[in-house]
Structure 1
Amino acid sequence: MPLTDPTGGTCSVARTITALGDRWSLLLLREAALGTTRFSDFRDRLGIASDVLTDRLQQLVDRGVLERVAYREEGSRARTEYRLTAAGRDFQVVLGALGGWGREHLPTDPDRGVRYRDEEGRPVRVAFVGEDGRVIAPDRVAVERG
């Protein structure tokens, strides 16, 4: 079901949720970040119905977070892969924040969720960072209306 923005487009959080906030879209973006590119692999990994998958992939392409890339295996017809765009790669910070919150506040045993690491394999986390580069605790950050 499509979401509507109750703020009329003036709030960046509401715009983002309206554009990308349903569970299938978020899980598709997670899978794309993990390297999934093909329709059948998305379907199999998520257990999503084909019609829903088709709709969500189209929405993510329309919103500029995934792009279609044609490919052809020898002896087969042309097919399409779905890859993250720069905007889709930027969205991984949001998914990292969601995953971090879930690990902290909705733990499971064992937790097999996605982990994020830097290029040297060290764990990373999402945080508020001041203009000077220092990490600021969430309870030290003020939230204001724009």
Structure 2
Amino acid sequence: MTEHPDRFWLNDYTPSYFEGTPEHKNIVFADTLEVIENIILFSISNYFLRFSNMYKSINGEHSLDDNNWYEFVEYGTTNELTVFLQRNGFSREPANYIKDNPKYLVKTDEGWKLHRSLLKCPNNDARTEAEIIDKNRPGLFVNEEDAGSTI
């Protein structure tokens, strides 16, 4: 890129020429990661989703419970708890934080629930996402006195 410093955008409204500075290298790196995440992984995820749906229709609904590549690509894990948390609105890092801090988790007859104490946890991302999710999925959270056993 240094031999042919093509124009590229520093942000949505500022064009520049590549100069090899750390800022410019970070922008190229971030753009590359964005393409990988939004285009390549999306395509692979859709492929495995179609495959999984077809395989389940032939072999039964639970035939891929232990080896579902769609979930691995989509959620970055096959851990059931992390997948559950991401399906309920948490992004990957806050889901991992909650999984690694089982004091915020409650196992009930209905499945997993979250302690309301998560709304005051020290992890800013997990706390912020929990506040939003609590408004949209209030049944996912339980009070300390209503909680059964933690995981």
Q: TM-score range by the shorter chain?
A: under 0.3
Structure showing greater radius of gyration is 2
| TM superposition score normalised by structure 1 | 0.25
